Structure 1
Amino acid sequence: MTISTAPDAPTRSRLATIAPALICAAVIVMAWQVYVMVSGVSPRVLPAPSRVIEQGWAHREAIATNATATLWVTVVGFAISLVLSFAVAIAIDFSGLLRRALVPMFVVSQTLPIIAIAPLLIIWFGFGLLPKVIVVVLSTFFPMAIGLIEGFAATDRDAGALLRSMGASRWSEFRYVRLPSAMPRFFTALRIGITYAVVAAVFAEYAGASEGLGIYMAQQKNTFRTDLVLAAVVVTAAVTIVLFASTYAVERIVAPWIEQERRSQ
Protein backbone atom coordinates (compact mmCIF):
# COMPACT_ATOMS: atom_id res chain seq x y z
CA MET A 1 0.00 0.00 0.00
CA THR A 2 1.36 3.40 -0.99
CA ILE A 3 0.75 6.24 1.43
CA SER A 4 0.58 9.65 -0.23
CA THR A 5 2.16 12.52 1.66
CA ALA A 6 1.22 15.19 -0.88
CA PRO A 7 -1.13 17.89 0.41
CA ASP A 8 -4.76 17.55 -0.60
CA ALA A 9 -6.53 20.03 -2.86
CA PRO A 10 -7.99 22.25 -0.08
CA THR A 11 -4.57 22.49 1.58
CA ARG A 12 -2.90 23.42 -1.70
CA SER A 13 -5.60 26.00 -2.29
CA ARG A 14 -5.02 27.59 1.11
CA LEU A 15 -1.26 27.63 0.58
CA ALA A 16 -1.71 29.24 -2.81
CA THR A 17 -3.95 31.87 -1.20
CA ILE A 18 -1.57 32.91 1.58
CA ALA A 19 1.75 32.39 -0.24
CA PRO A 20 1.76 35.80 -2.01
CA ALA A 21 1.11 37.63 1.25
CA LEU A 22 3.87 35.69 3.04
CA ILE A 23 6.34 36.37 0.24
CA CYS A 24 5.44 40.07 0.23
CA ALA A 25 5.89 40.29 4.02
CA ALA A 26 9.26 38.50 3.81
CA VAL A 27 10.48 40.91 1.14
CA ILE A 28 9.45 43.93 3.23
CA VAL A 29 11.20 42.58 6.34
CA MET A 30 14.36 41.79 4.38
CA ALA A 31 14.40 45.25 2.80
CA TRP A 32 13.88 46.80 6.25
CA GLN A 33 16.79 44.80 7.68
CA VAL A 34 19.11 45.72 4.81
CA TYR A 35 18.18 49.40 5.00
CA VAL A 36 18.96 49.60 8.72
CA MET A 37 22.28 47.83 8.24
CA VAL A 38 23.34 50.03 5.31
CA SER A 39 22.07 53.39 6.55
CA GLY A 40 23.31 53.04 10.12
CA VAL A 41 20.12 54.64 11.46
CA SER A 42 19.84 54.75 15.25
CA PRO A 43 17.87 51.90 16.86
CA ARG A 44 15.90 54.56 18.73
CA VAL A 45 14.60 55.81 15.39
CA LEU A 46 14.25 52.57 13.44
CA PRO A 47 15.46 49.29 14.95
CA ALA A 48 16.19 46.36 12.67
CA PRO A 49 13.68 43.48 12.60
CA SER A 50 16.33 41.26 14.20
CA ARG A 51 16.59 43.68 17.14
CA VAL A 52 12.80 43.84 17.48
CA ILE A 53 12.66 40.04 17.70
CA GLU A 54 15.63 39.87 20.07
CA GLN A 55 14.32 42.50 22.48
CA GLY A 56 10.77 41.25 22.23
CA TRP A 57 11.93 37.80 23.28
CA ALA A 58 14.04 39.26 26.09
CA HIS A 59 10.98 41.09 27.46
CA ARG A 60 8.52 38.32 26.60
CA GLU A 61 7.10 38.02 30.11
CA ALA A 62 6.09 41.67 30.32
CA ILE A 63 4.72 41.61 26.77
CA ALA A 64 2.79 38.39 27.42
CA THR A 65 1.26 39.79 30.61
CA ASN A 66 0.08 42.92 28.84
CA ALA A 67 -1.10 40.95 25.80
CA THR A 68 -3.25 38.79 28.08
CA ALA A 69 -4.88 41.91 29.52
CA THR A 70 -5.59 43.24 26.03
CA LEU A 71 -6.98 39.90 24.88
CA TRP A 72 -9.31 39.79 27.89
CA VAL A 73 -10.67 43.27 27.11
CA THR A 74 -11.10 42.28 23.47
CA VAL A 75 -12.96 39.04 24.24
CA VAL A 76 -15.29 40.55 26.85
CA GLY A 77 -16.11 43.62 24.77
CA PHE A 78 -16.58 41.64 21.58
CA ALA A 79 -18.80 39.06 23.29
CA ILE A 80 -21.07 41.79 24.64
CA SER A 81 -21.15 43.46 21.24
CA LEU A 82 -22.00 40.15 19.56
CA VAL A 83 -24.95 39.48 21.88
CA LEU A 84 -26.25 43.05 21.54
CA SER A 85 -25.95 43.05 17.75
CA PHE A 86 -27.88 39.78 17.47
CA ALA A 87 -30.62 40.94 19.85
CA VAL A 88 -31.05 44.32 18.19
CA ALA A 89 -30.88 42.95 14.62
CA ILE A 90 -33.52 40.32 15.39
CA ALA A 91 -35.80 42.91 17.01
CA ILE A 92 -35.39 45.20 13.99
CA ASP A 93 -36.14 42.33 11.60
CA PHE A 94 -39.44 41.72 13.37
CA SER A 95 -40.39 45.40 13.56
CA GLY A 96 -40.38 47.87 10.71
CA LEU A 97 -40.87 50.71 13.21
CA LEU A 98 -37.67 49.78 15.04
CA ARG A 99 -35.83 49.62 11.71
CA ARG A 100 -36.87 53.17 10.82
CA ALA A 101 -36.05 54.41 14.32
CA LEU A 102 -32.75 52.68 15.09
CA VAL A 103 -30.86 52.15 11.84
CA PRO A 104 -30.39 55.92 11.25
CA MET A 105 -29.19 56.20 14.84
CA PHE A 106 -26.62 53.48 14.23
CA VAL A 107 -25.30 55.38 11.22
CA VAL A 108 -25.11 58.63 13.20
CA SER A 109 -23.25 56.84 16.00
CA GLN A 110 -20.41 56.11 13.58
CA THR A 111 -19.76 59.83 13.21
CA LEU A 112 -18.77 60.06 16.88
CA PRO A 113 -14.96 60.16 17.16
CA ILE A 114 -13.79 57.33 19.41
CA ILE A 115 -10.51 59.18 19.84
CA ALA A 116 -12.44 61.88 21.74
CA ILE A 117 -14.85 59.56 23.57
CA ALA A 118 -12.24 57.15 24.98
CA PRO A 119 -10.55 59.70 27.30
CA LEU A 120 -13.97 60.82 28.54
CA LEU A 121 -14.86 57.21 29.40
CA ILE A 122 -11.64 56.96 31.39
CA ILE A 123 -12.62 60.13 33.29
CA TRP A 124 -16.15 58.85 33.95
CA PHE A 125 -15.42 55.20 34.78
CA GLY A 126 -11.76 55.12 35.85
CA PHE A 127 -8.96 52.84 34.67
CA GLY A 128 -10.77 49.54 35.16
CA LEU A 129 -12.25 47.12 32.67
CA LEU A 130 -15.55 48.93 31.99
CA PRO A 131 -14.39 51.94 29.92
CA LYS A 132 -12.20 49.77 27.69
CA VAL A 133 -15.04 47.30 27.14
CA ILE A 134 -17.37 50.17 26.19
CA VAL A 135 -14.86 51.38 23.59
CA VAL A 136 -14.69 47.88 22.08
CA VAL A 137 -18.49 47.62 22.01
CA LEU A 138 -18.86 51.03 20.37
CA SER A 139 -16.28 50.10 17.74
CA THR A 140 -17.65 46.66 16.83
CA PHE A 141 -21.42 46.82 17.31
CA PHE A 142 -22.23 48.72 14.11
CA PRO A 143 -20.62 46.42 11.49
CA MET A 144 -22.05 43.25 13.03
CA ALA A 145 -25.53 44.67 13.56
CA ILE A 146 -25.72 46.11 10.04
CA GLY A 147 -24.36 42.86 8.59
CA LEU A 148 -27.15 40.91 10.26
CA ILE A 149 -29.86 43.45 9.40
CA GLU A 150 -28.88 43.48 5.73
CA GLY A 151 -28.52 39.71 5.73
CA PHE A 152 -32.05 39.26 7.05
CA ALA A 153 -33.38 41.75 4.50
CA ALA A 154 -31.66 39.93 1.61
CA THR A 155 -33.53 36.68 2.26
CA ASP A 156 -35.12 35.04 -0.75
CA ARG A 157 -38.73 36.19 -0.64
CA ASP A 158 -39.98 33.12 -2.51
CA ALA A 159 -38.59 30.82 0.18
CA GLY A 160 -40.30 32.82 2.91
CA ALA A 161 -43.58 32.93 0.98
CA LEU A 162 -43.42 29.15 0.51
CA LEU A 163 -43.09 28.56 4.24
CA ARG A 164 -45.92 30.96 5.03
CA SER A 165 -48.14 29.23 2.46
CA MET A 166 -47.52 25.99 4.39
CA GLY A 167 -48.73 27.62 7.61
CA ALA A 168 -45.35 28.38 9.14
CA SER A 169 -45.18 31.09 11.78
CA ARG A 170 -43.12 34.25 11.47
CA TRP A 171 -40.61 32.79 13.93
CA SER A 172 -40.33 29.55 11.93
CA GLU A 173 -39.67 31.55 8.78
CA PHE A 174 -36.99 33.49 10.60
CA ARG A 175 -35.38 30.38 12.06
CA TYR A 176 -35.32 28.23 8.94
CA VAL A 177 -34.93 30.82 6.17
CA ARG A 178 -33.93 34.29 7.27
CA LEU A 179 -31.29 33.37 9.86
CA PRO A 180 -29.38 30.86 7.69
CA SER A 181 -29.44 33.21 4.69
CA ALA A 182 -27.95 36.02 6.80
CA MET A 183 -24.95 33.99 7.92
CA PRO A 184 -22.60 34.81 4.99
CA ARG A 185 -22.99 38.56 5.53
CA PHE A 186 -22.82 38.13 9.27
CA PHE A 187 -19.50 36.29 9.19
CA THR A 188 -18.07 38.92 6.85
CA ALA A 189 -19.13 41.57 9.38
CA LEU A 190 -17.80 39.40 12.20
CA ARG A 191 -14.33 39.41 10.65
CA ILE A 192 -14.43 43.17 10.30
CA GLY A 193 -15.62 43.50 13.88
CA ILE A 194 -12.94 41.26 15.40
CA THR A 195 -10.17 43.32 13.81
CA TYR A 196 -11.80 46.51 15.09
CA ALA A 197 -12.05 44.95 18.54
CA VAL A 198 -8.31 44.46 19.00
CA VAL A 199 -7.50 47.93 17.69
CA ALA A 200 -10.17 49.48 19.92
CA ALA A 201 -8.88 47.62 23.00
CA VAL A 202 -5.32 48.79 22.37
CA PHE A 203 -6.45 52.36 21.78
CA ALA A 204 -8.59 52.36 24.94
CA GLU A 205 -5.56 51.20 26.92
CA TYR A 206 -3.43 53.82 25.22
CA ALA A 207 -5.89 56.49 26.41
CA GLY A 208 -5.61 55.26 29.98
CA ALA A 209 -5.09 51.91 31.68
CA SER A 210 -2.97 50.16 34.28
CA GLU A 211 -2.00 47.25 31.99
CA GLY A 212 -2.34 46.12 28.41
CA LEU A 213 -0.44 46.44 25.15
CA GLY A 214 -1.69 49.98 24.63
CA ILE A 215 -0.27 51.33 27.87
CA TYR A 216 2.84 49.19 27.41
CA MET A 217 3.52 50.81 24.02
CA ALA A 218 2.92 54.26 25.51
CA GLN A 219 5.41 53.57 28.30
CA GLN A 220 8.08 52.24 25.94
CA LYS A 221 7.57 55.18 23.57
CA ASN A 222 8.22 57.58 26.42
CA THR A 223 11.54 55.86 27.12
CA PHE A 224 12.48 55.79 23.40
CA ARG A 225 12.38 51.98 23.26
CA THR A 226 11.15 51.86 19.68
CA ASP A 227 12.17 48.21 19.45
CA LEU A 228 9.79 47.22 22.25
CA VAL A 229 7.01 49.36 20.79
CA LEU A 230 7.37 47.49 17.51
CA ALA A 231 7.56 44.15 19.34
CA ALA A 232 4.21 44.97 20.98
CA VAL A 233 2.83 45.95 17.57
CA VAL A 234 3.89 42.57 16.17
CA VAL A 235 2.15 40.78 19.05
CA THR A 236 -0.98 42.87 18.48
CA ALA A 237 -0.97 41.93 14.81
CA ALA A 238 -0.47 38.26 15.67
CA VAL A 239 -3.41 38.31 18.11
CA THR A 240 -5.59 39.96 15.47
CA ILE A 241 -4.64 37.39 12.83
CA VAL A 242 -5.37 34.48 15.18
CA LEU A 243 -8.77 35.90 16.12
CA PHE A 244 -9.53 36.63 12.47
CA ALA A 245 -8.61 33.08 11.45
CA SER A 246 -10.71 31.64 14.28
CA THR A 247 -13.84 33.10 12.68
CA TYR A 248 -13.41 30.65 9.81
CA ALA A 249 -13.31 27.75 12.27
CA VAL A 250 -16.50 29.03 13.91
CA GLU A 251 -18.07 29.47 10.48
CA ARG A 252 -17.40 25.84 9.56
CA ILE A 253 -19.14 24.71 12.76
CA VAL A 254 -22.11 27.10 12.72
CA ALA A 255 -22.71 27.42 8.98
CA PRO A 256 -20.80 24.70 7.07
CA TRP A 257 -22.76 25.38 3.89
CA ILE A 258 -20.94 28.71 3.44
CA GLU A 259 -17.60 26.95 2.96
CA GLN A 260 -19.21 24.50 0.53
CA GLU A 261 -20.66 27.35 -1.52
CA ARG A 262 -17.28 29.14 -1.47
CA ARG A 263 -15.51 26.05 -2.80
CA SER A 264 -18.14 25.48 -5.51
CA GLN A 265 -17.59 29.01 -6.76
Structure 2
Amino acid sequence: MNVLRKYGLSLGFLFFLLAGWEWGARLYGKPFILPSPSGVLDRLWELKSILFISHLPATLAIVVIGLLLSLVFGVSLSVWMHKSGIARKAFFPILIASQTIPIIALAPIFVLWFGYSVWSKVAVTVLITFFPITVSTFDGLRSADSHLKEVLRVMGASKRQVFLKVELPAALPHFYSGLKVAVTLSVIGAAIGEWLGADAGLGYFSRRMMTQFDGAGVFAPIVVLSLLGVVLFWLVGLLEKMTMKWRRIQ
Protein backbone atom coordinates (compact mmCIF):
# COMPACT_ATOMS: atom_id res chain seq x y z
CA MET A 1 0.00 0.00 0.00
CA ASN A 2 2.84 2.39 0.83
CA VAL A 3 4.46 1.60 -2.51
CA LEU A 4 1.25 2.41 -4.39
CA ARG A 5 0.83 5.63 -2.43
CA LYS A 6 4.41 6.69 -3.14
CA TYR A 7 4.74 5.60 -6.75
CA GLY A 8 1.11 5.43 -7.88
CA LEU A 9 1.23 8.52 -10.08
CA SER A 10 4.53 7.48 -11.68
CA LEU A 11 3.26 3.97 -12.38
CA GLY A 12 0.03 5.33 -13.78
CA PHE A 13 1.84 7.72 -16.11
CA LEU A 14 4.20 4.91 -17.20
CA PHE A 15 1.23 2.65 -17.94
CA PHE A 16 -0.46 5.23 -20.18
CA LEU A 17 2.86 6.00 -21.88
CA LEU A 18 3.45 2.34 -22.68
CA ALA A 19 -0.16 1.87 -23.76
CA GLY A 20 0.13 4.81 -26.15
CA TRP A 21 3.43 3.47 -27.48
CA GLU A 22 1.89 0.01 -28.00
CA TRP A 23 -1.09 1.45 -29.85
CA GLY A 24 1.06 3.74 -31.98
CA ALA A 25 3.54 0.99 -32.87
CA ARG A 26 0.78 -1.39 -33.92
CA LEU A 27 -0.87 1.35 -35.96
CA TYR A 28 2.44 2.26 -37.64
CA GLY A 29 3.06 -1.37 -38.52
CA LYS A 30 6.83 -1.20 -39.05
CA PRO A 31 8.44 -3.00 -36.09
CA PHE A 32 11.95 -2.73 -37.55
CA ILE A 33 11.63 1.07 -37.05
CA LEU A 34 9.21 1.39 -34.13
CA PRO A 35 8.77 -1.86 -32.19
CA SER A 36 5.99 -2.17 -29.65
CA PRO A 37 6.75 -2.58 -25.92
CA SER A 38 5.37 -6.11 -26.04
CA GLY A 39 7.64 -6.86 -29.00
CA VAL A 40 10.64 -5.47 -27.10
CA LEU A 41 9.80 -7.64 -24.07
CA ASP A 42 9.46 -10.72 -26.28
CA ARG A 43 12.82 -9.99 -27.90
CA LEU A 44 14.37 -9.34 -24.49
CA TRP A 45 13.18 -12.74 -23.33
CA GLU A 46 14.64 -14.38 -26.43
CA LEU A 47 18.00 -12.65 -25.93
CA LYS A 48 18.12 -12.90 -22.14
CA SER A 49 20.99 -15.38 -22.08
CA ILE A 50 23.30 -13.50 -24.41
CA LEU A 51 22.43 -10.11 -22.90
CA PHE A 52 22.74 -10.98 -19.21
CA ILE A 53 25.55 -13.54 -19.46
CA SER A 54 27.74 -12.20 -22.28
CA HIS A 55 27.16 -8.45 -22.61
CA LEU A 56 25.92 -7.14 -19.24
CA PRO A 57 29.12 -8.15 -17.38
CA ALA A 58 31.24 -6.28 -19.95
CA THR A 59 29.20 -3.10 -19.52
CA LEU A 60 29.08 -3.47 -15.74
CA ALA A 61 32.88 -3.80 -15.59
CA ILE A 62 33.26 -0.51 -17.49
CA VAL A 63 30.77 1.22 -15.20
CA VAL A 64 32.40 -0.02 -11.99
CA ILE A 65 35.98 0.79 -13.06
CA GLY A 66 34.96 4.22 -14.37
CA LEU A 67 33.05 5.08 -11.20
CA LEU A 68 35.88 3.94 -8.94
CA LEU A 69 38.41 6.07 -10.83
CA SER A 70 36.06 9.06 -10.78
CA LEU A 71 35.53 8.63 -7.04
CA VAL A 72 39.24 8.44 -6.26
CA PHE A 73 40.35 11.33 -8.46
CA GLY A 74 37.19 13.42 -8.04
CA VAL A 75 37.12 13.36 -4.24
CA SER A 76 40.89 13.88 -4.05
CA LEU A 77 40.75 16.88 -6.37
CA SER A 78 37.78 18.41 -4.54
CA VAL A 79 39.58 18.16 -1.19
CA TRP A 80 42.74 19.61 -2.73
CA MET A 81 40.86 22.55 -4.27
CA HIS A 82 39.10 23.13 -0.94
CA LYS A 83 42.39 23.26 0.94
CA SER A 84 44.46 25.11 -1.65
CA GLY A 85 43.48 28.34 -3.35
CA ILE A 86 46.18 27.79 -5.97
CA ALA A 87 44.77 24.38 -6.88
CA ARG A 88 41.26 25.85 -7.03
CA LYS A 89 42.33 28.62 -9.42
CA ALA A 90 44.36 26.20 -11.54
CA PHE A 91 41.95 23.29 -11.89
CA PHE A 92 38.40 24.58 -11.46
CA PRO A 93 38.29 26.47 -14.81
CA ILE A 94 39.73 23.41 -16.56
CA LEU A 95 37.12 21.25 -14.86
CA ILE A 96 34.34 23.47 -16.18
CA ALA A 97 35.87 23.61 -19.67
CA SER A 98 36.07 19.82 -19.84
CA GLN A 99 32.28 19.66 -19.78
CA THR A 100 31.89 21.94 -22.79
CA ILE A 101 33.47 19.36 -25.12
CA PRO A 102 30.94 16.93 -26.62
CA ILE A 103 31.61 13.44 -25.30
CA ILE A 104 30.58 11.92 -28.62
CA ALA A 105 33.45 13.83 -30.27
CA LEU A 106 36.07 12.59 -27.81
CA ALA A 107 35.02 8.95 -27.78
CA PRO A 108 36.62 8.13 -31.19
CA ILE A 109 39.85 9.76 -29.98
CA PHE A 110 39.91 7.48 -26.97
CA VAL A 111 39.45 4.52 -29.31
CA LEU A 112 42.50 5.69 -31.29
CA TRP A 113 44.53 6.02 -28.09
CA PHE A 114 43.46 2.88 -26.26
CA GLY A 115 42.14 0.72 -29.09
CA TYR A 116 39.12 -1.49 -28.54
CA SER A 117 40.23 -2.42 -25.03
CA VAL A 118 38.14 -1.70 -21.96
CA TRP A 119 40.13 1.46 -21.25
CA SER A 120 38.72 3.45 -24.15
CA LYS A 121 35.23 2.93 -22.72
CA VAL A 122 36.43 3.59 -19.17
CA ALA A 123 37.94 6.90 -20.32
CA VAL A 124 34.55 8.02 -21.67
CA THR A 125 32.84 6.93 -18.45
CA VAL A 126 35.36 8.78 -16.27
CA LEU A 127 35.04 11.95 -18.32
CA ILE A 128 31.27 11.97 -17.97
CA THR A 129 31.13 11.03 -14.25
CA PHE A 130 34.14 12.92 -12.89
CA PHE A 131 32.49 16.34 -13.00
CA PRO A 132 29.36 15.81 -10.83
CA ILE A 133 31.34 13.98 -8.13
CA THR A 134 34.08 16.62 -7.97
CA VAL A 135 31.88 19.70 -8.06
CA SER A 136 29.30 18.35 -5.62
CA THR A 137 31.92 17.29 -3.08
CA PHE A 138 33.77 20.59 -3.44
CA ASP A 139 30.58 22.58 -2.87
CA GLY A 140 29.77 20.40 0.13
CA LEU A 141 33.15 21.04 1.72
CA ARG A 142 32.75 24.77 1.23
CA SER A 143 29.26 24.71 2.79
CA ALA A 144 30.57 23.69 6.22
CA ASP A 145 29.50 26.01 9.04
CA SER A 146 32.30 28.56 9.49
CA HIS A 147 31.16 29.42 13.03
CA LEU A 148 31.33 25.79 14.08
CA LYS A 149 34.80 25.47 12.62
CA GLU A 150 35.92 28.54 14.50
CA VAL A 151 34.56 27.15 17.77
CA LEU A 152 36.53 23.94 17.28
CA ARG A 153 39.70 25.88 16.53
CA VAL A 154 39.27 27.94 19.69
CA MET A 155 38.87 24.70 21.63
CA GLY A 156 42.21 23.52 20.24
CA ALA A 157 41.09 21.21 17.44
CA SER A 158 43.60 20.47 14.68
CA LYS A 159 42.92 20.99 10.98
CA ARG A 160 42.44 17.25 10.61
CA GLN A 161 39.86 17.18 13.41
CA VAL A 162 37.99 20.15 11.93
CA PHE A 163 37.92 18.37 8.58
CA LEU A 164 36.64 15.08 10.01
CA LYS A 165 34.13 16.57 12.48
CA VAL A 166 32.70 19.48 10.47
CA GLU A 167 33.71 19.66 6.81
CA LEU A 168 33.36 15.96 5.95
CA PRO A 169 29.83 15.56 7.44
CA ALA A 170 28.76 18.76 5.68
CA ALA A 171 30.07 17.43 2.36
CA LEU A 172 28.44 13.99 2.55
CA PRO A 173 24.91 15.01 1.41
CA HIS A 174 26.39 16.88 -1.55
CA PHE A 175 28.72 13.98 -2.33
CA TYR A 176 25.85 11.51 -2.49
CA SER A 177 23.82 13.86 -4.68
CA GLY A 178 26.71 14.03 -7.13
CA LEU A 179 27.21 10.27 -6.95
CA LYS A 180 23.55 9.65 -7.78
CA VAL A 181 23.97 11.74 -10.91
CA ALA A 182 27.27 10.04 -11.72
CA VAL A 183 25.98 6.46 -11.52
CA THR A 184 23.23 7.17 -14.04
CA LEU A 185 25.64 9.01 -16.33
CA SER A 186 28.13 6.15 -16.05
CA VAL A 187 25.70 3.85 -17.86
CA ILE A 188 25.39 6.42 -20.64
CA GLY A 189 29.16 6.81 -20.86
CA ALA A 190 29.71 3.07 -21.08
CA ALA A 191 27.06 2.71 -23.77
CA ILE A 192 28.55 5.56 -25.83
CA GLY A 193 32.00 4.02 -25.63
CA GLU A 194 30.68 0.60 -26.63
CA TRP A 195 28.60 2.07 -29.43
CA LEU A 196 31.65 3.62 -31.09
CA GLY A 197 34.13 0.82 -30.61
CA ALA A 198 33.78 -2.51 -28.82
CA ASP A 199 33.34 -6.22 -29.36
CA ALA A 200 31.12 -6.81 -26.31
CA GLY A 201 28.69 -4.90 -24.11
CA LEU A 202 25.08 -3.75 -24.21
CA GLY A 203 25.88 -0.67 -26.30
CA TYR A 204 27.77 -2.77 -28.81
CA PHE A 205 24.93 -5.29 -29.03
CA SER A 206 22.38 -2.51 -29.61
CA ARG A 207 24.47 -1.15 -32.49
CA ARG A 208 24.82 -4.63 -33.96
CA MET A 209 21.06 -5.12 -33.90
CA MET A 210 20.64 -1.77 -35.66
CA THR A 211 22.75 -2.96 -38.58
CA GLN A 212 20.39 -5.94 -38.86
CA PHE A 213 17.29 -3.70 -38.86
CA ASP A 214 16.06 -5.43 -35.71
CA GLY A 215 14.14 -2.66 -33.94
CA ALA A 216 13.14 -4.77 -30.95
CA GLY A 217 16.73 -6.03 -30.70
CA VAL A 218 17.96 -2.44 -30.52
CA PHE A 219 15.59 -1.60 -27.67
CA ALA A 220 16.17 -4.80 -25.66
CA PRO A 221 19.69 -3.88 -24.43
CA ILE A 222 18.51 -0.31 -23.86
CA VAL A 223 15.93 -1.67 -21.40
CA VAL A 224 18.71 -3.57 -19.60
CA LEU A 225 20.85 -0.41 -19.50
CA SER A 226 17.95 1.52 -18.00
CA LEU A 227 17.40 -1.14 -15.35
CA LEU A 228 21.12 -1.11 -14.56
CA GLY A 229 20.99 2.65 -14.00
CA VAL A 230 17.96 2.32 -11.73
CA VAL A 231 19.63 -0.43 -9.66
CA LEU A 232 22.83 1.60 -9.28
CA PHE A 233 20.84 4.67 -8.22
CA TRP A 234 18.95 2.58 -5.66
CA LEU A 235 22.21 1.14 -4.29
CA VAL A 236 23.65 4.63 -3.81
CA GLY A 237 20.46 5.68 -2.01
CA LEU A 238 20.74 2.62 0.24
CA LEU A 239 24.38 3.39 0.99
CA GLU A 240 23.42 6.97 1.79
CA LYS A 241 20.83 5.82 4.32
CA MET A 242 23.29 3.40 5.92
CA THR A 243 26.07 5.96 6.33
CA MET A 244 23.96 9.02 7.17
CA LYS A 245 21.54 7.84 9.84
CA TRP A 246 22.02 11.13 11.65
CA ARG A 247 20.48 12.97 8.71
CA ARG A 248 17.34 10.85 8.79
CA ILE A 249 16.92 11.58 12.51
CA GLN A 250 17.00 15.28 11.81
TM-score bracket for this pair, using the shorter chain length: over 0.9
Distance in 1 between the 2:66 and 2:56 partners?
15
Distance in 1 between the 2:197 and 2:248 partners?
41
Distance in 2 between the 1:130 and 1:40 partners?
41
Aligned to 2:145: 156
Is structure 2 residue 39 aligned with structure 1 residue 51? Answer: yes
Aligned to 2:21: 32
Distance in 2 between the 1:181 and 1:113 partners?
32
For these two proteins, the number of residue pairs brought into alignment is 249
- Where do 5+ consecutive residues of structure 2 fail to align? none
Aligned to 1:231: 220
Distance in 2 between the 1:259 and 1:112 partners?
39
Aligned to 1:178: 167
Is structure 2 residue 88 aligned with structure 1 residue 62? Answer: no
Cα offsets for 1:105-157 (capped at 9, x unmatched): 10111112211111011011110111111111111111110001110111111
- Where do 5+ consecutive residues of structure 1 fail to align? 1-6
Aligned to 1:22: 11
Q: Which one-letter code corresponds to 1:46 in the other structure? A: L
Distance in 2 between the 1:91 and 1:140 partners?
18
Distance in 2 between the 1:231 and 1:139 partners?
24
Distance in 1 between the 2:37 and 2:208 partners?
20
Task: Give the TM-score normalised by the residue count of structure 2.
Answer: 0.96
**Residue range with higher mean Cα deviation, 16-25 or 162-171:** 16-25
Superposition RMSD on alpha carbons, in Å?
1.3
Distance in 2 between the 1:198 and 1:90 partners?
26
Distance in 1 between the 2:149 and 2:88 partners?
19
Aligned to 2:29: 41
Distance in 2 between the 1:251 and 1:36 partners?
40
Equivalent residue runs for 1:238-257 within 5 Å:
238-257=227-246
| Offset of residue 29 of structure 1 | 0.8
| Offset of residue 260 of structure 1 | 3.3
Distance in 2 between the 1:106 and 1:171 partners?
26
Q: Which one-letter code corresponds to 1:246 in the other structure? A: L
Aligned to 1:187: 176
Distance in 2 between the 1:117 and 1:34 partners?
39
Q: Which one-letter code corresponds to 1:71 in the other structure? A: L
Distance in 1 between the 2:132 and 2:217 partners?
32
Aligned to 2:197: 208
Is structure 2 residue 90 aligned with structure 1 residue 101? Answer: yes
Identity rate, percent: 32
Q: Which one-letter code corresponds to 1:227 in the other structure? A: A
